[in-house]
Structure 1
Amino acid sequence: FFRIWRMPMTATQGILGYFYPAIPVVMDEFEARGIYFNEDRYCKPFINDQILWDYFGEEREIIHNHFMNNHFDGTYTFKEEFDNQRKLTDYFKANPQGWAEDRLISLAANVLFLKEDVAGEDAVYHPRFNIEKTNSYQYLNDDEKRKLSDLYVDYFFKRQDGLWYQQAMEKLPVILNATDMLICGEDLGLVPESVPQVMDRLGITALKVQRMPSDNIPWYDPKHAGYMNVVTASSHDSSTLRQWWHEDRGLSYQYFQKQLGQYGTAPWDLEPQLAEMIMKQHLYNEAMLAIFPIQEFLATDKELTNPNMDEERINNPAVFPHYWRYRMHLNVGELLNHDDFNQKIAHWVSDSNRI
């Protein structure tokens, strides 16, 4: 309702998308900021000898001979038949090479800006999300880094707010006036300042996913959730709690000690008693609603967890065109027979006044 994330057909990863609508960067702005804009350097994947080594090691020569043009100055570009993610993906469908495919597709995203061709007008440009984490950015000089970083901050955090506020205020009041249902906004990820302003003005509840805080903190503590919030431990687009526990062992250790109040070393797997603590922290607070994927309830009972935790994820937004393949490994009849589990969950719901 504020903006969408749009991907060109040449891309297969969401990282090569940009917000729409958005006020893009035009050529005059590069000049005004003292940025010498080289479209090949900024908009094409930057590849040099060191990057090839980092990505492919001893196989780098085989890779660049087959997929790339060698400019004999220490830099390379993809050959025309492989010069975007879509072409690479189509090639590997016919010629499977699992070890090289992911790395080449990732390398194809090593750009600083995405070019948008506008009919009848000069091309405009959008900074790639997380520009500072690209290998391409690391090979700029300090002056270029500073200027591009300033432009990035302006693009994502300043210039768009008025436009996005206007977009939301044209659409959301119409929806609110058309229904008696409660409206909840999925205000996750990169949240511009206009989002809470509009939601507060219109009385729309916000969504708090613990591991996706809008503030610069490692996780959100549900005890801080005010009434106009929906809290949850995971979403359909995230990994499950059991998967998340393995994604960053350092973060899991901090969470184990600081959020769950435990001592010693965090266990290798998320144990049922720890999953119970997480669920209770989300249930016992001031938020209007607490809603969870069923996988997180099942994680509180060792007998009911799926032996393969990777089968529990619902969606991975980075996988195009879709990922939605979750199927519960139990059936409803089996769940009905687990009286202890059902009574435990029922008690949590009633005791936390969430009936």
Structure 2
Amino acid sequence: MIDLSQGKYSGVAIPLGAIRTANSQGIGDFFDLIEFAKWAKKTEFSLIQLLPIQDSGDFSAPYSAISANGLNPVYISLWQVPLSDNSKLQVQEFSDLHKNDQRIHYKDVYTFKHSILRQVYEEFDIQKSDFQDFCEEHRYWLFPYCAYCTLKELNHKKPWYEWPQMKNISAADLETVKEKNSQKFYYHAFLQFLAFSQFADAANQIKAMDVVLKGDIPILMNLDSADVWYFRKYFNLNFKAGAPPDMFSDTGQNWGFPVYDWENLSHDDYVWWRNRIEIAAQFYGAYRIDHVLGFLRIWQIPAGEFSGLLGFYSPASYIDRHELLALGFDEGRIAWLSTSHISGESIEHSLQKNSSSVYDYLHQIENQNLYQIKPEFRSSETIAAESCPQEVKDFLINAHQNRTLLETSPGVFTAFWFYDQTSAWESLSQDEKEKLKKLIHDKVIASEKLWEKNGEKLLRVLMQSSSMLVCAEDLGAVPACMPGLLNRLQILSLKIRRWARDYDNGGQVIDPQTYPRLSVATLSVHDTSSLRGWWDEESDKEAFVAQLQQEFKDFDEMNTGLATAFLKNLFQANSVLVIPTLQDLFALDTSMLRQSPLEERVNVPGTVNDENWSWRMPFLVEELYLQENWNSTVRSFALRK
């Protein structure tokens, strides 16, 4: 147990699939986790932090799950299920073939494990009492998941929104799917039965070692998932979640995941979320809330947009039409601010030879040399789908985004992120600009209060659903109320060494010894480069080295001495929890460096390729036991004395 009132604790972060043992079948599994926990215990770690392990289908990205609760069958240990002699040979051959793979070949593992598990299922008696008990206990989410997987298979793996039938499903329809396709339906229940049984066994053994498992619960769900398909009323498919523009992206981020309908969730006492947390508590003693900011407010983007530019925070204190009228903006002025207006001069200047083709998408305003985009083309997706020249598409999309105010619902507005850089804004008088800017500022202040209240309400729902220690991923555009709220609720914040800076004082690097006690400190996470990779990129090296309480003549490149100083400094953090990645611990000893910094990386956000999520530890766990010098150094840090 992690006691927040006293003591400091150490953990190690590793994706479950990255663990390698002599018994691995191309990917780390639930029983490999037991072996890794034995090593963690040997080196005095109190906690193991995992990435999400929910079913992501044949796609390896753990944050793009097809179920909020269903575990990924690739983590089932085939050696722990009853195998025929022929199956045993197949499993051994596959294990030997992939024993020395440097990366996880996810689709190969996925295909092979399903082929073996289908054979096992053919001999399985679904009338067994423990299986029936499992199905009944988890019916709420399990039966929709099984129906979804069954129908997805019957529809050639197409997403549910492309199915010719059963896009919308009732409880009665669910029973029909089960009865007509019972063999397929119960295969998926069987997989979950095995996965839950094995993970529970592993979790219990690890708990007996006095090692805590820390899970990761993504806030959002994949659009093509069993939960969005069946529990549709809990999601708002008119919007997608993302992030506003920042120093990394001028157009923000669009993650493609639907946002929640919190009103409908509230009407049902948040049963979907409570169930999710209660199930996680069967295995974990702590969990990380991915994108905790989304429980305060989410950046939601109209479903027809590609980027995050036309998004806005929800909930928020919005601008009412009457407030604009009271400031002296008449209906025409409000329309001018909230809809795109394109002058004939700008069309001719920007498009020249292609100018004639753009008028098919515009309608003229009275007899003026002024135009608006026709209603049927007022989204980036519809414009992009047209057959006109790319230059025309780009012009229309830019014009579509050029609005000072965004109408969130009839008569209700919010400011465009770059509102003071729009054409309509430039046309305002100085007095009008000052009035509107003050109104926008007042709404931001009012929103902060709303976000704090909303966040506390929703986070308490999660906290009341289990006794797990709650840790927040609070990165991004953090509202001012966030630190105080987390502290009040005793939720741990996240401090990543390279990004922990005092941005109110010129971005000054913060020493880990001054981190808040209620925090998790680390050097790297799955979405960043490793310690060695970061140091190759870091431009402010002197500021970090100055805090290491040790002189270094040469610190341009990372070496074991510098890595040791960084990790020592990290473990001296004031944070109650320090959780480095396994990759960063390897940097302590040159004999442990079998991969380049680039190869140590788990994921590069915004990219889709076979390298992402395929990292595999370069040692067997059994080999880690033999690295006495390295283990001794790791142990000395983990004790945090």
Q: Which amino acid aligns with 1:21?
A: P
Q: CA deviation at 1:24?
A: 1.1
- Is 2:187 the partner of 1:187? no
Mapped contact 2:603–2:613 kept (Cα < 8 A):
no
Flag structure 1 segments of 5+ consecutive residues without an equivalent: 247-251
Question: SS at the partner of 2:302?
Answer: coil
Q: CA deviation at 1:280?
A: 5.5
Mapped contact 1:7–1:16 kept (Cα < 8 A):
yes
Which of 512, 515, 518 does residue 228 from structure 1 map onto? 518
Aligned to 2:617: 332
- Is 2:574 the partner of 1:286? yes
Aligned to 2:123: none
Mapped contact 2:337–2:425 kept (Cα < 8 A):
no
Aligned to 1:218: 507
In the superposition, the TM-score normalised over structure 2's length comes to 0.41
Q: Which amino acid aligns with 1:152?
A: I
Q: CA deviation at 1:113?
A: 2.0
In the superposition, the TM-score normalised over structure 1's length comes to 0.67
- Is 2:301 the partner of 1:7? yes
Q: How does 1:195-344 map to 2 (within 5 A)?
A: 195-209=482-496, 210-211=498-499, 215-216=503-504, 217-218=506-507, 221-223=510-512, 224-233=514-523, 242=533, 252-253=538-539, 255-261=540-546, 271-273=557-559, 276=563, 281-291=569-579, 304-305=595-596, 313-316=603-606, 327-328=612-613, 330-333=615-618
- Is 2:403 the partner of 1:114? no
Q: Which amino acid aligns with 2:507?
A: P
Residues of 2 paired with 1:144 and 1:245: CA distance?
A: 49
Larger radius of gyration: 2
Q: Which amino acid aligns with 1:289?
A: L
Mapped contact 1:110–1:134 kept (Cα < 8 A):
yes
Residues of 2 paired with 1:236 and 1:104: CA distance?
A: 38
- Is 2:380 the partner of 1:85? yes
Mapped contact 1:23–1:159 kept (Cα < 8 A):
yes
Label 1:176 to 1:280 Cα distance change in 2 as closer, same or farther (>3 A).
same
Q: CA RMSD in A?
A: 5.1
Which of 114, 126, 138 does residue 414 from structure 2 map onto? 126
Label 1:333 to 1:257 Cα distance change in 2 as closer, same or farther (>3 A).
closer
CA deviation string 1:192-250 (max 9, x = no partner):
3433333222222122344375853436524231211123445556687758976xxxx
Aligned to 2:439: 151
Q: CA deviation at 1:115?
A: 0.9
Question: SS at the partner of 1:287?
Answer: coil
Residues of 2 paired with 1:221 and 1:28: CA distance?
A: 46
Label 1:236 to 1:330 Cα distance change in 2 as closer, same or farther (>3 A).
closer
CA deviation string 1:88-131 (max 9, x = no partner):
3444xx8896x9977875664333222122xxxx4201112353
Mapped contact 2:585–2:634 kept (Cα < 8 A):
no
Q: Which amino acid aligns with 2:456?
A: M
Aligned to 2:312: 18
Q: How does 1:35-184 map to 2 (within 5 A)?
A: 35=329, 38-45=333-340, 60-61=351-352, 64-67=355-358, 69=362, 78=373, 82-91=377-386, 105=397, 108-117=400-409, 122-132=410-420, 137=425, 141-156=429-444, 158-184=445-471
Residues of 1 paired with 2:340 and 2:566: CA distance?
A: 42
Residues of 2 paired with 1:104 and 1:283: CA distance?
A: 53
Residues of 2 paired with 1:102 and 1:244: CA distance?
A: 38
Q: Which amino acid aligns with 2:404?
A: L
Q: Which amino acid aligns with 2:471?
A: C
Q: Which amino acid aligns with 1:115?
A: E
Q: CA deviation at 1:346?
A: 7.3
The count of residues paired between Structure 1 and Structure 2 equals 328
Question: SS at the partner of 1:30?
Answer: helix
Mapped contact 1:298–1:305 kept (Cα < 8 A):
no
Label 1:26 to 1:312 Cα distance change in 2 as closer, same or farther (>3 A).
same
Residues of 1 paired with 2:297 and 2:411: CA distance?
A: 21
Residues of 1 paired with 2:603 and 2:475: CA distance?
A: 18
CA deviation string 1:282-322 (max 9, x = no partner):
4431112234566766889885236589x854434xx9xxx
CA deviation string 1:146-175 (max 9, x = no partner):
33332332222x112333333233333333
Residues of 2 paired with 1:339 and 1:133: CA distance?
A: 60
- Is 2:322 the partner of 1:28? yes
Label 1:331 to 1:191 Cα distance change in 2 as closer, same or farther (>3 A).
closer
In terms of mean alpha carbon deviation, does 334-343 or 285-294 score higher?
A: 334-343
Query: Higher relative CO (CA 8 A, sep ≥ 6), structure 1 or 2?
Result: 2
Q: Which amino acid aligns with 1:15?
A: L
CA deviation string 1:16-41 (max 9, x = no partner):
22222222101122233455673444
Question: SS at the partner of 2:417?
Answer: coil
Residues of 2 paired with 1:135 and 1:298: CA distance?
A: 54
Label 1:174 to 1:9 Cα distance change in 2 as closer, same or farther (>3 A).
closer
Label 1:88 to 1:339 Cα distance change in 2 as closer, same or farther (>3 A).
farther
Label 1:327 to 1:192 Cα distance change in 2 as closer, same or farther (>3 A).
closer
Q: CA deviation at 1:49?
A: 9.4
Identity of aligned residues (%): 22
